[in-house]
């Protein structure tokens, strides 16, 4: 079970499980990630003997090991998420630390330019805004529905259906 969970964690970078399983999984995954830092045949075979999945081994050695190359340890993070409905087991999320962009703050933050604006308009702005509204109202044609005629037609239709 732990090798399957380790494979899932390496492939998906984040899984949800119980707290006890996550703590046990951490003791399995962290040494594997440390082994993946040295890309040799011996370390690949050692990792494969635990994971039993070629895709997970290649993902570990290509993607994960390059991302955690500078980190001395502590590759996983466990975040408690609450309790499970049925048996009240404590649930958590275990994830690889370097793959959470929200906590790292590497997502691009767009900084908007703030300008100071006064509360009162100048005379020139008032004149242009009045001219703009006059132009808009003269160019737009207003179409008003005739509610009385529509009500009469609806009343006639209702009377016809009653007969």
According to DSSP, the residues that pair with 90 across neighbouring strands are 83
Q: In terms of C-beta density within 10 A (0-12 exposed, 13-18 middle, 19 or more buried), how is residue 110 classed?
A: exposed
Taking the CA atoms of the chain, what radius of gyration do you get in angstroms? Answer: 33
Residue 103: closest CA among 68, 77, 122, 140: 77
pLDDT in tens, 13-59: 999 999 999 999 999 999 999 999 999 999 999 999 999 999 999 99
Q: Domain spanning 2-104 has what CATH number? A: 3.90.1030.10
pLDDT in tens, 71-81: 999 999 999 99
Please give the pLDDT value at position 101: 77
């Amino acid at each position: 079970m732990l090798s399957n969970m380790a494979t899932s964690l390496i492939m998906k970078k984040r899984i949800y499980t119980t707290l006890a399983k996550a703590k046990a999984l951490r003791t399995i995954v962290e040494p594997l990630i440390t082994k993946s830092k040295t890309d040799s045949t011996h370390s690949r075979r050692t990792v494969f003997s635990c994971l039993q999945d070629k895709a997970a081994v290649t993902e570990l050695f290509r993607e994960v090991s390059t991302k955690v190359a500078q980190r001395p340890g502590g590759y996983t993070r466990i975040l408690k998420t609450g309790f499970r409905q049925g048996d009240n087991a404590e649930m958590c999320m275990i994830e690889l630390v370097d793959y959470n962009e929200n906590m790292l703050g590497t997502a691009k933050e767009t900084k908007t330019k703030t300008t100071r604006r006064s509360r009162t308009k100048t005379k020139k702005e008032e004149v242009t805004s009045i001219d703009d509204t006059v132009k808009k109202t003269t160019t737009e044609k207003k179409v008003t529905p005739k509610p009385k005629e529509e009500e009469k037609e609806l009343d006639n239709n209702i009377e016809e259906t009653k007969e």
